Amino acid sequence: MKIRVLYFLLAVAPAFQAPLLRGEETNMQPTWAIAIHGGAGSSPEQLGEESSRLRSAGLTKALQAGRDQLAQGATAIDTVESVIRILEDDPVFNAGRGAVLTEDGKAELDASIMDGNTLGCGAVAGVTKTKNPISLARLVMTQTKHVLLVGPGADEFSEDQQVPQVDPSYFLTDQSHNRVADLVSHAAPLRNLSQEDEAHLGTVGCVVLDSHGNLAAGTSTGGTTNKLPGRVGDSPIVGAGTYAANGLCAVSGTGVGEEYIRNAVAYDIAAQMKYADRNLESAVTDVMFQKLDSEIGGVIAVSQTGEIVLQHNTPGMSCGAADSTGRFEIHLQLENGGAPNEQDATESAQHLDEAEIQTLLQQQANDWNAGDIESFMTVYWKSDQLTFSSSGDITRGYEATLKRYQSRYPTAEAMGTLTFEDFEFFRLGEDAMQVLGVWKLERQEPLGGRFTLVLRRLPEGWRIVHDHTSSFPDPEKQ
Ligand code: ASP
Protein backbone atom coordinates (compact mmCIF):
# COMPACT_ATOMS: atom_id res chain seq x y z
CA MET A 1 0.00 0.00 0.00
CA LYS A 2 1.27 3.45 -0.82
CA ILE A 3 0.32 5.91 1.86
CA ARG A 4 0.54 9.52 0.85
CA VAL A 5 3.64 10.84 2.46
CA LEU A 6 2.75 13.71 4.69
CA TYR A 7 4.91 13.76 7.70
CA PHE A 8 2.95 15.42 10.43
CA LEU A 9 5.33 16.01 13.27
CA LEU A 10 4.63 18.36 16.08
CA ALA A 11 8.03 18.77 17.63
CA VAL A 12 7.25 19.54 21.20
CA ALA A 13 10.85 19.56 22.38
CA PRO A 14 12.57 22.10 20.12
CA ALA A 15 15.96 20.58 20.89
CA PHE A 16 15.05 17.72 18.55
CA GLN A 17 15.16 18.91 14.99
CA ALA A 18 14.96 15.44 13.49
CA PRO A 19 12.47 12.96 14.92
CA LEU A 20 13.96 9.89 16.52
CA LEU A 21 11.66 7.13 15.43
CA ARG A 22 13.63 4.23 16.82
CA GLY A 23 15.30 3.89 20.18
CA GLU A 24 18.47 2.51 18.65
CA GLU A 25 19.04 5.74 16.74
CA THR A 26 20.07 7.37 19.98
CA ASN A 27 23.37 6.28 21.44
CA MET A 28 22.05 5.92 24.94
CA GLN A 29 19.77 3.05 25.87
CA PRO A 30 16.74 4.53 27.62
CA THR A 31 16.09 3.52 31.22
CA TRP A 32 12.37 4.08 30.71
CA ALA A 33 10.19 4.56 27.65
CA ILE A 34 6.53 5.22 26.92
CA ALA A 35 4.33 5.26 23.82
CA ILE A 36 0.67 6.19 23.54
CA HIS A 37 -1.96 6.13 20.82
CA GLY A 38 -5.29 7.81 20.28
CA GLY A 39 -6.51 5.60 17.44
CA ALA A 40 -5.72 4.77 13.82
CA GLY A 41 -7.73 5.91 10.81
CA SER A 42 -7.87 9.23 9.02
CA SER A 43 -4.96 11.37 7.91
CA PRO A 44 -4.51 14.82 9.47
CA GLU A 45 -5.94 16.33 6.27
CA GLN A 46 -9.06 14.23 6.61
CA LEU A 47 -9.34 15.15 10.27
CA GLY A 48 -9.11 18.85 9.61
CA GLU A 49 -7.25 21.52 11.54
CA GLU A 50 -9.41 21.76 14.63
CA SER A 51 -9.62 18.05 15.26
CA SER A 52 -5.87 17.66 14.59
CA ARG A 53 -5.14 20.39 17.11
CA LEU A 54 -7.36 18.86 19.79
CA ARG A 55 -5.88 15.41 19.26
CA SER A 56 -2.32 16.68 19.44
CA ALA A 57 -3.11 18.64 22.60
CA GLY A 58 -4.78 15.62 24.24
CA LEU A 59 -1.87 13.33 23.38
CA THR A 60 0.69 15.87 24.58
CA LYS A 61 -1.04 16.26 27.94
CA ALA A 62 -1.21 12.50 28.49
CA LEU A 63 2.36 11.87 27.32
CA GLN A 64 3.75 14.65 29.53
CA ALA A 65 1.99 13.13 32.53
CA GLY A 66 3.39 9.68 31.73
CA ARG A 67 6.87 11.03 31.15
CA ASP A 68 6.87 12.92 34.46
CA GLN A 69 5.67 9.88 36.40
CA LEU A 70 8.24 7.57 34.85
CA ALA A 71 11.05 10.06 35.44
CA GLN A 72 10.10 9.94 39.13
CA GLY A 73 10.30 6.16 39.21
CA ALA A 74 6.61 5.25 38.78
CA THR A 75 5.86 1.65 37.83
CA ALA A 76 4.84 0.69 34.31
CA ILE A 77 1.43 -0.61 35.35
CA ASP A 78 0.59 2.55 37.37
CA THR A 79 1.70 4.75 34.47
CA VAL A 80 -0.34 2.83 31.91
CA GLU A 81 -3.46 3.15 34.06
CA SER A 82 -3.09 6.84 34.81
CA VAL A 83 -2.15 7.86 31.26
CA ILE A 84 -5.13 5.96 29.84
CA ARG A 85 -7.41 7.61 32.42
CA ILE A 86 -6.34 11.02 31.08
CA LEU A 87 -7.15 9.93 27.53
CA GLU A 88 -10.48 8.38 28.64
CA ASP A 89 -11.48 11.69 30.24
CA ASP A 90 -10.70 13.59 27.02
CA PRO A 91 -13.86 13.63 24.83
CA VAL A 92 -11.71 13.88 21.69
CA PHE A 93 -10.90 10.17 21.91
CA ASN A 94 -13.11 7.13 21.54
CA ALA A 95 -12.69 5.83 25.08
CA GLY A 96 -14.50 6.80 28.27
CA ARG A 97 -16.14 10.17 27.61
CA GLY A 98 -16.52 10.65 23.87
CA ALA A 99 -16.91 6.95 23.06
CA VAL A 100 -18.64 5.96 19.86
CA LEU A 101 -22.09 4.43 20.17
CA THR A 102 -23.81 1.17 19.36
CA GLU A 103 -26.47 0.89 16.69
CA ASP A 104 -29.05 1.80 19.31
CA GLY A 105 -27.17 4.86 20.51
CA LYS A 106 -25.52 3.56 23.69
CA ALA A 107 -21.91 3.54 24.86
CA GLU A 108 -20.51 0.08 25.62
CA LEU A 109 -16.92 0.33 26.73
CA ASP A 110 -14.06 -2.18 26.54
CA ALA A 111 -10.63 -2.05 28.20
CA SER A 112 -7.72 -4.25 29.22
CA ILE A 113 -4.44 -3.92 31.06
CA MET A 114 -1.47 -6.30 31.39
CA ASP A 115 1.55 -6.41 33.66
CA GLY A 116 4.56 -7.83 31.80
CA ASN A 117 6.33 -8.67 35.04
CA THR A 118 3.73 -11.17 36.27
CA LEU A 119 1.65 -11.75 33.10
CA GLY A 120 -1.23 -10.62 35.32
CA CYS A 121 -4.01 -9.12 33.25
CA GLY A 122 -7.56 -7.84 33.60
CA ALA A 123 -10.24 -6.73 31.17
CA VAL A 124 -13.82 -5.54 30.93
CA ALA A 125 -16.18 -5.49 27.96
CA GLY A 126 -19.51 -3.81 27.36
CA VAL A 127 -19.47 -1.73 30.55
CA THR A 128 -21.94 1.15 30.60
CA LYS A 129 -21.50 3.17 33.80
CA THR A 130 -17.83 3.12 34.77
CA LYS A 131 -16.14 6.49 34.29
CA ASN A 132 -12.70 4.94 33.71
CA PRO A 133 -12.91 1.40 32.34
CA ILE A 134 -9.11 0.96 32.45
CA SER A 135 -9.19 1.20 36.25
CA LEU A 136 -11.97 -1.37 36.37
CA ALA A 137 -9.87 -3.67 34.17
CA ARG A 138 -7.02 -3.31 36.64
CA LEU A 139 -9.33 -4.23 39.51
CA VAL A 140 -10.38 -7.37 37.63
CA MET A 141 -6.67 -8.18 37.53
CA THR A 142 -5.97 -7.47 41.19
CA GLN A 143 -9.27 -8.23 42.96
CA THR A 144 -10.58 -11.32 41.18
CA LYS A 145 -9.23 -14.64 40.00
CA HIS A 146 -10.59 -13.86 36.52
CA VAL A 147 -9.24 -12.04 33.50
CA LEU A 148 -12.34 -10.73 31.70
CA LEU A 149 -15.72 -9.54 33.02
CA VAL A 150 -18.47 -8.48 30.62
CA GLY A 151 -21.80 -6.63 30.51
CA PRO A 152 -24.08 -6.46 33.58
CA GLY A 153 -21.69 -8.59 35.66
CA ALA A 154 -18.88 -6.14 34.97
CA ASP A 155 -21.17 -3.17 35.78
CA GLU A 156 -22.11 -4.83 39.05
CA PHE A 157 -18.47 -5.54 39.93
CA SER A 158 -17.74 -1.88 39.18
CA GLU A 159 -20.37 -0.73 41.70
CA ASP A 160 -19.09 -3.23 44.29
CA GLN A 161 -15.55 -1.91 43.90
CA GLN A 162 -16.84 1.62 44.40
CA VAL A 163 -15.07 3.02 41.39
CA PRO A 164 -16.59 6.29 40.12
CA GLN A 165 -19.91 5.62 38.35
CA VAL A 166 -21.50 7.99 35.84
CA ASP A 167 -24.87 8.26 34.16
CA PRO A 168 -24.59 6.64 30.69
CA SER A 169 -25.33 10.06 29.17
CA TYR A 170 -21.87 11.19 30.45
CA PHE A 171 -20.26 9.29 27.57
CA LEU A 172 -22.45 10.83 24.89
CA THR A 173 -20.72 13.93 23.62
CA ASP A 174 -21.73 15.86 20.51
CA GLN A 175 -18.90 14.10 18.85
CA SER A 176 -20.23 10.61 19.47
CA HIS A 177 -23.61 11.66 18.04
CA ASN A 178 -21.96 13.14 15.00
CA ARG A 179 -19.91 10.03 14.46
CA VAL A 180 -23.09 7.98 14.36
CA ALA A 181 -24.69 10.34 11.94
CA ASP A 182 -21.62 10.56 9.74
CA LEU A 183 -20.50 7.02 9.49
CA VAL A 184 -21.73 4.07 7.53
CA SER A 185 -22.64 0.59 8.73
CA HIS A 186 -21.01 -0.94 11.80
CA ALA A 187 -19.76 -3.87 9.77
CA ALA A 188 -17.73 -1.84 7.30
CA PRO A 189 -14.01 -2.19 7.81
CA LEU A 190 -12.09 1.04 7.41
CA ARG A 191 -11.04 0.18 3.89
CA ASN A 192 -14.65 0.01 2.77
CA LEU A 193 -15.35 3.54 3.91
CA SER A 194 -15.11 6.31 1.37
CA GLN A 195 -12.53 9.04 1.93
CA GLU A 196 -15.10 11.39 3.42
CA ASP A 197 -16.59 8.79 5.69
CA GLU A 198 -13.28 7.45 6.80
CA ALA A 199 -13.17 7.20 10.55
CA HIS A 200 -10.42 8.18 12.90
CA LEU A 201 -11.87 6.10 15.62
CA GLY A 202 -9.74 7.20 18.53
CA THR A 203 -9.28 4.13 20.70
CA VAL A 204 -6.53 4.86 23.24
CA GLY A 205 -3.57 2.81 24.38
CA CYS A 206 -0.34 3.04 26.31
CA VAL A 207 2.79 0.87 26.53
CA VAL A 208 5.57 1.41 29.05
CA LEU A 209 9.01 0.20 30.08
CA ASP A 210 9.70 1.54 33.56
CA SER A 211 13.02 2.23 35.27
CA HIS A 212 12.65 -1.00 37.27
CA GLY A 213 12.81 -2.98 34.02
CA ASN A 214 9.11 -3.90 33.89
CA LEU A 215 6.82 -3.69 30.88
CA ALA A 216 3.06 -3.01 30.85
CA ALA A 217 0.35 -2.30 28.28
CA GLY A 218 -3.26 -1.14 28.26
CA THR A 219 -5.99 -0.28 25.77
CA SER A 220 -9.42 1.35 26.18
CA THR A 221 -12.17 1.98 23.64
CA GLY A 222 -15.79 2.56 22.84
CA GLY A 223 -15.33 0.06 20.01
CA THR A 224 -16.44 0.65 16.44
CA THR A 225 -19.11 3.09 15.39
CA ASN A 226 -22.64 1.71 15.07
CA LYS A 227 -21.54 -1.67 16.38
CA LEU A 228 -24.19 -4.23 17.23
CA PRO A 229 -25.14 -4.09 20.91
CA GLY A 230 -22.97 -6.68 22.66
CA ARG A 231 -20.17 -6.57 20.08
CA VAL A 232 -16.73 -6.93 21.67
CA GLY A 233 -13.58 -5.90 19.81
CA ASP A 234 -9.90 -6.65 20.32
CA SER A 235 -9.18 -3.99 22.95
CA PRO A 236 -10.27 -6.12 25.95
CA ILE A 237 -8.85 -9.33 24.45
CA VAL A 238 -5.41 -10.05 25.86
CA GLY A 239 -3.17 -11.21 23.03
CA ALA A 240 -5.23 -9.40 20.38
CA GLY A 241 -5.38 -5.70 21.33
CA THR A 242 -3.06 -5.75 24.35
CA TYR A 243 -0.09 -7.82 25.47
CA ALA A 244 2.96 -7.40 27.70
CA ALA A 245 5.68 -9.82 28.76
CA ASN A 246 8.96 -8.85 30.38
CA GLY A 247 11.94 -9.77 28.23
CA LEU A 248 9.91 -9.28 25.06
CA CYS A 249 7.61 -6.30 24.58
CA ALA A 250 4.45 -4.42 25.50
CA VAL A 251 1.93 -3.85 22.69
CA SER A 252 -1.34 -1.96 22.22
CA GLY A 253 -3.30 -2.01 18.97
CA THR A 254 -5.98 0.08 17.34
CA GLY A 255 -8.03 -0.65 14.25
CA VAL A 256 -10.59 -3.13 12.98
CA GLY A 257 -10.82 -5.26 16.12
CA GLU A 258 -12.11 -8.36 14.38
CA GLU A 259 -8.90 -8.53 12.31
CA TYR A 260 -6.77 -8.01 15.41
CA ILE A 261 -8.53 -10.91 17.12
CA ARG A 262 -8.25 -13.20 14.06
CA ASN A 263 -4.53 -12.53 13.82
CA ALA A 264 -3.79 -12.48 17.58
CA VAL A 265 -1.86 -9.32 16.71
CA ALA A 266 -0.37 -8.27 20.04
CA TYR A 267 0.74 -11.79 20.98
CA ASP A 268 2.00 -12.53 17.48
CA ILE A 269 4.48 -9.67 17.82
CA ALA A 270 5.73 -11.02 21.15
CA ALA A 271 5.81 -14.59 19.78
CA GLN A 272 7.89 -13.58 16.76
CA MET A 273 10.43 -12.08 19.14
CA LYS A 274 10.38 -15.11 21.40
CA TYR A 275 10.37 -17.96 18.90
CA ALA A 276 11.81 -16.43 15.73
CA ASP A 277 14.39 -14.16 17.37
CA ARG A 278 13.01 -11.14 15.57
CA ASN A 279 13.59 -7.65 16.88
CA LEU A 280 10.58 -5.53 17.80
CA GLU A 281 10.57 -3.46 14.63
CA SER A 282 10.71 -6.39 12.25
CA ALA A 283 8.01 -8.27 14.20
CA VAL A 284 5.68 -5.25 14.11
CA THR A 285 6.45 -4.61 10.43
CA ASP A 286 5.65 -8.23 9.58
CA VAL A 287 2.28 -8.05 11.32
CA MET A 288 1.29 -4.60 10.07
CA PHE A 289 2.44 -4.96 6.47
CA GLN A 290 2.47 -8.72 5.74
CA LYS A 291 -0.18 -10.36 7.91
CA LEU A 292 -2.83 -7.62 8.09
CA ASP A 293 -4.46 -6.13 5.02
CA SER A 294 -3.82 -2.47 4.39
CA GLU A 295 -6.01 0.16 6.08
CA ILE A 296 -6.79 -2.04 9.07
CA GLY A 297 -5.10 -0.14 11.90
CA GLY A 298 -1.93 0.51 13.87
CA VAL A 299 0.23 -0.65 16.74
CA ILE A 300 2.42 0.94 19.40
CA ALA A 301 5.04 -1.19 21.12
CA VAL A 302 8.05 -0.95 23.39
CA SER A 303 10.76 -3.56 23.94
CA GLN A 304 12.71 -4.55 27.04
CA THR A 305 15.57 -2.35 25.81
CA GLY A 306 13.30 0.69 25.48
CA GLU A 307 13.01 0.58 21.69
CA ILE A 308 9.71 2.17 20.67
CA VAL A 309 7.92 1.17 17.47
CA LEU A 310 4.91 3.08 16.13
CA GLN A 311 3.32 1.79 12.91
CA HIS A 312 0.02 2.09 11.07
CA ASN A 313 -1.28 0.83 7.74
CA THR A 314 -4.12 3.38 7.73
CA PRO A 315 -3.68 6.93 6.42
CA GLY A 316 -3.02 8.18 9.95
CA MET A 317 -2.57 7.25 13.60
CA SER A 318 -2.59 9.60 16.59
CA CYS A 319 0.40 8.61 18.71
CA GLY A 320 3.34 9.76 20.75
CA ALA A 321 6.58 8.53 22.26
CA ALA A 322 8.92 9.66 25.03
CA ASP A 323 11.86 8.19 26.87
CA SER A 324 14.58 8.92 29.41
CA THR A 325 16.99 10.21 26.72
CA GLY A 326 14.78 13.29 26.20
CA ARG A 327 12.80 11.99 23.26
CA PHE A 328 9.31 13.50 23.15
CA GLU A 329 7.20 13.46 20.03
CA ILE A 330 3.59 13.50 18.92
CA HIS A 331 2.37 12.40 15.48
CA LEU A 332 -0.94 12.18 13.68
CA GLN A 333 0.68 10.39 10.79
CA LEU A 334 4.03 8.69 10.22
CA GLU A 335 6.03 8.61 7.03
CA ASN A 336 5.59 5.22 5.34
CA GLY A 337 3.23 4.30 8.21
CA GLY A 338 6.28 4.19 10.50
CA ALA A 339 7.64 1.11 8.68
CA PRO A 340 11.35 1.03 7.81
CA ASN A 341 12.01 1.83 4.15
CA GLU A 342 12.92 -1.06 1.90
CA GLN A 343 16.67 -0.54 2.05
CA ASP A 344 16.64 -0.31 5.85
CA ALA A 345 14.46 -3.40 6.01
CA THR A 346 16.81 -5.38 3.75
CA GLU A 347 19.83 -4.26 5.73
CA SER A 348 18.20 -5.11 9.00
CA ALA A 349 17.12 -8.57 7.70
CA GLN A 350 20.68 -9.24 6.51
CA HIS A 351 22.03 -8.11 9.85
CA LEU A 352 19.62 -10.35 11.76
CA ASP A 353 20.38 -13.40 9.62
CA GLU A 354 24.12 -12.86 9.97
CA ALA A 355 23.78 -12.51 13.73
CA GLU A 356 21.64 -15.64 13.91
CA ILE A 357 24.09 -17.71 11.85
CA GLN A 358 27.07 -16.41 13.80
CA THR A 359 25.34 -17.41 17.06
CA LEU A 360 24.69 -20.89 15.67
CA LEU A 361 28.31 -21.34 14.62
CA GLN A 362 29.53 -20.08 17.96
CA GLN A 363 27.25 -22.61 19.66
CA GLN A 364 28.67 -25.24 17.33
CA ALA A 365 32.21 -24.42 18.46
CA ASN A 366 31.08 -24.54 22.11
CA ASP A 367 29.56 -27.99 21.56
CA TRP A 368 32.79 -29.17 19.95
CA ASN A 369 34.81 -27.83 22.83
CA ALA A 370 32.51 -29.65 25.25
CA GLY A 371 33.43 -32.84 23.37
CA ASP A 372 29.87 -33.29 22.06
CA ILE A 373 30.05 -34.11 18.36
CA GLU A 374 26.31 -34.94 18.10
CA SER A 375 25.35 -31.47 19.37
CA PHE A 376 28.01 -29.98 17.11
CA MET A 377 26.14 -31.64 14.22
CA THR A 378 22.79 -29.95 15.11
CA VAL A 379 23.47 -27.11 12.72
CA TYR A 380 23.94 -29.51 9.78
CA TRP A 381 20.94 -30.38 7.60
CA LYS A 382 19.62 -33.75 8.82
CA SER A 383 19.26 -35.05 5.30
CA ASP A 384 20.78 -37.54 2.88
CA GLN A 385 21.39 -34.56 0.63
CA LEU A 386 23.87 -32.89 2.97
CA THR A 387 27.29 -32.69 1.31
CA PHE A 388 30.64 -32.29 3.03
CA SER A 389 33.73 -31.94 0.92
CA SER A 390 37.34 -31.85 2.01
CA SER A 391 40.69 -32.83 0.57
CA GLY A 392 39.20 -33.96 -2.69
CA ASP A 393 36.53 -36.25 -1.17
CA ILE A 394 32.83 -35.76 -0.84
CA THR A 395 30.92 -37.24 2.09
CA ARG A 396 27.20 -37.48 1.36
CA GLY A 397 24.41 -37.40 3.94
CA TYR A 398 24.10 -36.46 7.60
CA GLU A 399 24.89 -39.90 9.05
CA ALA A 400 28.03 -40.30 6.94
CA THR A 401 29.22 -36.82 7.93
CA LEU A 402 28.67 -37.58 11.61
CA LYS A 403 30.63 -40.84 11.26
CA ARG A 404 33.42 -39.04 9.45
CA TYR A 405 33.80 -36.58 12.30
CA GLN A 406 33.60 -39.32 14.93
CA SER A 407 36.29 -41.42 13.29
CA ARG A 408 38.63 -38.50 12.60
CA TYR A 409 38.26 -37.11 16.11
CA PRO A 410 37.79 -40.14 18.38
CA THR A 411 39.07 -38.55 21.60
CA ALA A 412 38.85 -35.22 23.40
CA GLU A 413 42.56 -34.77 22.77
CA ALA A 414 42.12 -35.21 19.04
CA MET A 415 39.21 -32.75 19.12
CA GLY A 416 41.22 -29.97 20.78
CA THR A 417 39.75 -26.47 21.06
CA LEU A 418 37.92 -25.10 18.03
CA THR A 419 37.51 -21.45 17.09
CA PHE A 420 35.90 -19.85 14.04
CA GLU A 421 36.91 -16.43 12.78
CA ASP A 422 36.98 -14.00 9.82
CA PHE A 423 33.36 -14.58 8.81
CA GLU A 424 32.19 -13.23 5.46
CA PHE A 425 28.51 -13.46 4.51
CA PHE A 426 27.08 -13.53 0.99
CA ARG A 427 23.34 -13.71 0.60
CA LEU A 428 22.28 -16.25 -2.02
CA GLY A 429 18.56 -15.54 -1.71
CA GLU A 430 16.03 -14.69 0.96
CA ASP A 431 16.52 -18.07 2.61
CA ALA A 432 20.07 -19.01 1.62
CA MET A 433 23.45 -17.70 2.68
CA GLN A 434 27.08 -18.47 1.87
CA VAL A 435 29.54 -18.07 4.73
CA LEU A 436 33.32 -18.03 4.41
CA GLY A 437 35.62 -18.24 7.38
CA VAL A 438 38.68 -19.65 9.05
CA TRP A 439 38.74 -22.53 11.56
CA LYS A 440 41.48 -23.25 14.06
CA LEU A 441 42.02 -26.27 16.22
CA GLU A 442 44.32 -25.86 19.22
CA ARG A 443 45.75 -29.23 20.24
CA GLN A 444 49.04 -31.05 20.36
CA GLU A 445 49.33 -30.81 16.58
CA PRO A 446 47.42 -27.64 15.78
CA LEU A 447 45.30 -27.67 12.68
CA GLY A 448 43.33 -25.06 10.80
CA GLY A 449 42.02 -23.98 7.47
CA ARG A 450 39.31 -22.23 5.52
CA PHE A 451 35.69 -23.23 5.23
CA THR A 452 32.89 -22.34 2.85
CA LEU A 453 29.40 -23.09 4.10
CA VAL A 454 26.10 -22.88 2.27
CA LEU A 455 23.19 -22.49 4.69
CA ARG A 456 19.46 -22.61 4.04
CA ARG A 457 16.69 -21.31 6.25
CA LEU A 458 14.59 -24.41 6.97
CA PRO A 459 11.49 -24.62 9.21
CA GLU A 460 13.80 -25.71 12.06
CA GLY A 461 16.13 -22.71 11.48
CA TRP A 462 19.31 -22.02 9.49
CA ARG A 463 21.10 -25.28 8.59
CA ILE A 464 24.35 -26.04 6.75
CA VAL A 465 23.48 -27.87 3.53
CA HIS A 466 27.02 -27.90 2.15
CA ASP A 467 30.37 -27.60 3.89
CA HIS A 468 33.66 -27.31 2.06
CA THR A 469 36.62 -27.41 4.38
CA SER A 470 40.29 -27.14 3.59
CA SER A 471 43.23 -27.28 5.95
CA PHE A 472 46.44 -25.37 5.76
CA PRO A 473 49.23 -25.38 5.20
CA ASP A 474 48.00 -26.28 1.74
CA PRO A 475 49.94 -29.41 0.67
CA GLU A 476 49.98 -28.16 -2.94
CA LYS A 477 51.91 -25.09 -1.84
CA GLN A 478 54.60 -26.93 0.06
N1 ASP B 1 -9.91 -1.81 17.92
C2 ASP B 1 -11.11 -1.15 18.35
C3 ASP B 1 -12.25 -2.15 18.25
O4 ASP B 1 -12.33 -2.85 17.28
C5 ASP B 1 -11.44 0.06 17.55
C6 ASP B 1 -10.28 0.97 17.23
O7 ASP B 1 -9.15 0.72 17.62
O8 ASP B 1 -10.49 1.97 16.57
O9 ASP B 1 -13.06 -2.16 19.13
Quote the longest CA-to-CA distance of the chain.
Answer: 93
0.85 cut: is pTM over it? no
Residue closest to 130 by CA, chosen among 112, 146, 110: 110
204 CA distance to ligand 1 centroid (A)?
9
C-alpha R_g of the chain: 27
Whole-angstrom Cα distance, residue 175 to residue 167?
17
Measured from the Cβ of residue 193, the count of other Cβ atoms closer than 10 Å reads: 18
| pLDDT value at residue 277 | 83
205 lines ligand 1 (CB under 6 A): no
Kindly state if the Cβ of 38 falls inside 6 Å of ligand 1: no
Query: Is the CB of 255 within 6 Å of ligand 1?
Result: yes
* 40 C-alpha to ligand 1 centroid (Å): 9
Tell me the three state secondary structure of residue 464. strand
pLDDT in single tens digits along all 478 residues of the chain: 333 333 333 333 333 333 344 344 445 899 999 999 999 999 999 999 999 999 999 999 999 999 999 999 999 999 999 999 999 999 999 999 999 999 989 999 999 999 999 999 999 999 999 999 999 999 999 999 999 999 999 999 999 999 999 999 999 876 655 554 444 333 334 434 433 334 547 999 999 999 999 999 999 999 998 999 999 999 999 999 999 999 999 999 999 999 999 999 999 999 999 998 889 999 999 999 999 999 999 999 999 999 999 999 999 999 999 999 999 999 999 999 999 987 777 777 788 889 889 999 999 999 999 999 999 999 999 999 999 999 889 999 999 999 999 999 999 999 999 999 999 999 998 899 999 999 999 999 999 999 999 999 999 999 999 999 998 765 455 4
The fold for domain 348-477 equals: Nuclear Transport Factor 2; Chain: A, (3.10.450)
Q: Of 385, 406, 403, 387, which Cα lies nearest the Cα of 395? A: 387
CA 233–ligand 1 middle distance (angstroms): 6
Q: What is the pLDDT of residue 89?
A: 97
Domains 19-339 and 348-477 share a fold: no
Known catalytic residues are: 203
Determine whether the shortest distance from the Cβ of 220 to ligand 1 is under 6 A: no
Which pLDDT belongs to residue 176? 55
Domain boundaries, the chain: 19-339, 348-477
- Domain 19-339 CATH class label: alpha beta
Gap between the Cα atoms of 340 and 14, Å rounded: 24
Note whether 405 and 395 are within 8 A (CB): no
Q: What is the distance between the alpha carbons of residues 161 and 155, in angstroms, rounded to a whole number?
A: 10
